[in-house]
Amino acid sequence: MSWRSIDGILSSAVEAAPSLPGVVAMLTDRGRTLYSGAVGRRSVEKAEAMTADTVLALFSCSKAVTATAVLQLVEDGLLDLDRPVRAILPDIAAIQVLDGFDDSGQPQLRAPKRDITTRMLLLHSSGFGYEFFNHGLLKVQTATGAPSVISGRRAALQTPLLFDPGEDWNYGIGLDWCGRIVETLRGTSLGEAMKSGIFDRLGMSDTGFGLTPDMRGRLASLHQRAADGGLTAYPDPDPAVLPEMHMGGHGLYGTAGDYLAFIRMWLNDGDGPHGRVLTPATVEMAVKDGLQGRKIHPIASAVPAYSHDVEMFPGIAKSWSLPFMVNDDQAPTGRPAGSVGWAGLANLFYWIDRRNGIGGFWATQLFPFADPAAITAYLGFETAVYDEINNHLQKIV
């Protein structure tokens, strides 16, 4: 099969208006990389070209990696997903449910009806949210001076719940709590647990919560889209400013090639080139809907600078597995029902299609999330992949 049509999609993404600063896209089957392309620049303020080995802030693409580390705890007999998390992290017992605001704007809180479990944290059914996706949590942050989760501060996890655990779905900070569970039960940092249990087994040498000097030299800048469509680059992160903890929900840096190796592991029933990451039985369980019939819903933005309103594949029923979103019906791109995937806040997207044995990763570094130009280009990439697959099958027939 030929994937050359993807080159034009990437080129248009950085040449058309409104443009993207730089894009990298890759496609894999179970055995090898089928396509790798990169266009544009790492920063609109610098000359360096975007390349296949450019280092990216992965944001919520980190979540599935953290979920994998949690699943390894289960396989090793160290964790019961349905055990109350307070038995491992006692401070989670202090979290209460947001029950409105008083006349002075102070949050009114009440005790939750039941304990939070690790399964709830993975499925986003615990009640946690994000302040940039919820006006109530944003109001709490303003009233109390609580730090944003993006700050990397431990205090940012002490945010109220939006509903009683287990009673709804809401995208939130549950995977940051999961990272703390991994650290507590492994007795090491989340990054070290991931390195020994995942990265080394998959050959992911360019992924981590910190930036080595070599990675920093290949780092793409984050960008902000202005109202007129223009792009402004953020300053690169200060190497002296480190987060208080490894944020399992959003803290990883890595390359597209490394993330493709992670996708390939899921296509290969948990096996990697340097060791097994998960058993086939765990993989099979982990990619299935875990919400027991409940569907996920669109995500409304509370901070437009960070994100537009979000819904992947509007009109298509979607559920959530332990690490991923699941599209219950075939997507308009051609992605078959039962495939999994998700995204990262700086307009990164990926999918894993175990039926056809392929997966893809597409990334730029741009706020706000769900940027129309970024979404259009990504969906064009995924659609081109399935168009080529279908054309190939028709020729065989």
Tell me the pLDDT tens digit for each residue of 102-129: 999 999 999 999 999 999 999 999 999 9
Q: Which helix (H) or strand (E) holds 110?
A: strand 107-110
Catalytic residue among 63, 306, 339, 378: 63
The rounded radius of gyration (Å) of the Cα atoms in the chain is: 20
Quick check: 396 pLDDT over 70? no
- When pLDDT is averaged across residues 9-27 and rounded to a whole number, the result is 97
Instruction: Express as a percent the part of the chain with pLDDT over 70.
Output: 98
Tell me how far the alpha carbon of residue 167 is from its chain's centroid. Answer: 23
- When pLDDT is averaged across residues 5-12 and rounded to a whole number, the result is 95
Q: Which helix (H) or strand (E) holds 344?
A: strand 340-344
Catalytic residue among 43, 60, 321, 339: 60
| Cβ partners under 8 Å of residue 117, min gap 6 | 81, 82, 83, 84, 85, 126, 165, 166
**Strand-by-strand arrangement of the 223-225 sheet:** 231-233, 223-225, 366-367
Q: What is the mean pLDDT of the chain?
A: 96
> Is 5-75+182-396 assigned to CATH 3.40.710.10?
yes
Res 395: pLDDT:
61
Catalytic residue among 171, 259, 350, 378: 171
Residue 202 near residue 189, CB atoms below 8 Å: no
Distance CA 286, CA 280 (A): 10
Residue 112 near residue 127, CB atoms below 8 Å: yes
**Model confidence band, residue 150 (pLDDT cutoffs 50, 70, 90):** confident
**pTM: predicted TM-score of the whole model, two decimal places:** 0.97
Of residues 5 and 157, more confidently modeled: 157
Residue 63 known to be catalytic: yes
Q: What is the DSSP letter of 78?
A: S
**Model confidence band, residue 397 (pLDDT cutoffs 50, 70, 90):** very low
Instruction: Name which of 6, 36, 2, 38 is nearest 20 in CA terms.
Output: 38
What are residue 57's DSSP bridge partners? 253
Quick check: 393 pLDDT over 70? no
Instruction: Name which of 65, 63, 295 is nearest 170 in CA terms.
Output: 295
Quick check: 394 pLDDT over 80? no
**Model confidence band, residue 178 (pLDDT cutoffs 50, 70, 90):** very high
- When pLDDT is averaged across residues 287-312 and rounded to a whole number, the result is 96
